[in-house]
Amino acid sequence: MIQRLLHTLPRDKIAKRLVRNLKWIFSSQIAIAVLGMLSLAVSARALGAAGLGALALIEAFARINARLVHFEPWQAVIQFGSAALTNEETLRFERLVGLSIVLDVIGGLAAAALILLLAPIVAAPIGLDGSGTHLLPLGALAMVVSLRATGIALLRLQDRFDLLAKIDIATALFRLALFVIAWLLGGTLLHFVIIFVLCSFADGVVAFLFGQREMRQRGQKPKFGNLLVTLRQNPGFLRFMWNANIAVILRQTTQRLDVIILGALVAPTFVGHYHIARRCGDAAIRLGRPIKQAIFPEFTRLAAEGNYLRIKKTALWISIGFCTILLAGLVPVLIYIDPILDTAFGEAFISAAPVVSIQAVAVALFLAGVILTPVLLSLGRDRELMLIGVATATLFFTLIFPLVMAFGVNGAALSHLFSNAFWLAASSWLVIKTLREKTRHTNVPTSEVLS
């Protein structure tokens, strides 16, 4: 697909930069997906289905609480930082970075406090008992220091996708190495939770430290000063950050809270089966992240220039190429799902085949629209994107309880399938409508308007 893009798009600096960044991110995400599946296989064999289910609940509880209160500013920093750097407003950019750091610190502390507050209350209702009850608050330590959002913004704005890729691969290798050591030494659930905390801490600070290094090399440094002045210099920053995060929060809430809901409705063994399905799906979703990560800064620049026709053409070709890859990968997985699970996780997990298959189709629907979010954000449709997210999450939470009651653990995967289909249809319609309006206003020939 990358080579197709190279031959299709005009051979200017934008296309070359986009293709270079896509190669770096695709390579890293493939490596991370493989390493993640290996880590999953090791933890499954070390803990068994019930232990893996408990680990999934602890991780999900920590991450969902963090997502609810830690509003990541990286998308807003890229959106407004691109304009500042283009206009050579260095001081404005440095103040933006300072604001981002403050927001990250406050978000991390708030997430840890929320986890500590809720852990004793929810442990038993979600199916954690015994040692699991005491391990749930430990997840708070994983969220205290989380400056990754600021680091991501800095590295992507400075076109250092290569460095970010290397950092993410190193973190995944670190996690796998610790998992293998714990497995060989007969590690318990406690040891795997500690590894989760250590890896989350590394994930939260390493990208930030390298982002700061990039700033220093360019003679820049974060400035904190009066944050209200920074907000006045960037009107709409908080609104953009709110809408962008609400859309992501709603999406990730359905992808984290489903495990918590299942913990209250089914046995830990079935939660372990579902965790296998979700982690396999997450590995596939990693293949879509590179496109969003690489294309969003480019789309923001093109939108600032008013070059909507270029946005339309780029989005169309990427969507066609990625959907072709999805179809080629999904069919073999569905056909050979039993031997795949047996080989990867052991015979005990073959019974997870139905939920894994349903989740695979649900993930494919989500990935088919991977380009839609960055397109809508770059076009200023953050509010509409947020509303679609609200509707999608509402549909998911409306469906999950009756579907789980009717179909067991498979019902959770069916909830994702139906809600992802709705999200894809609604977002596609909004992109087509918006691009028609934008290109019409720029006097684009009718034959070239996306249809």
pLDDT in tens, 386-431: 888 889 888 988 998 899 888 888 888 899 899 999 999 999 999 8
- Using CA atoms, how far apart are residues 364 and 199, in angstroms rounded to an integer? 28
The confidence band for 6, taking pLDDT boundaries of 50, 70 and 90, is: very low
- According to the model, what pLDDT value does residue 209 have? 93
Classified as helix, coil or strand, 202 is helix
Mean pLDDT (whole number) for 29-49: 85
Residue whose structure tokens are 């330590």: 141
Of 285, 401, 389, nearest in space to 33 by CA: 285
Q: Which range in 14-23, 45-54, 413-422 is most confidently predicted, on average pLDDT?
A: 413-422
Question: What sign results for the dihedral spanned by CA atoms 373, 378, 383, 384?
Answer: negative
pLDDT in tens, 102-136: 999 998 899 888 888 888 888 877 777 766 678 88
- Using CA atoms, how far apart are residues 277 and 272, in angstroms rounded to an integer? 9
- Using CA atoms, how far apart are residues 51 and 43, in angstroms rounded to an integer? 9
User: How deeply is 342 buried, as exposed, middle or buried, from its count of CB atoms within 10 A (0-12, 13-18, 19+)?
Assistant: middle
Using CA atoms, how far residue 359 sits from 131, 230, 442, in Å, is: 30, 43, 41
User: pTM here?
Assistant: 0.63
Classified as helix, coil or strand, 412 is helix
pLDDT in tens, 257-292: 777 777 777 777 777 778 788 777 777 776 666 667
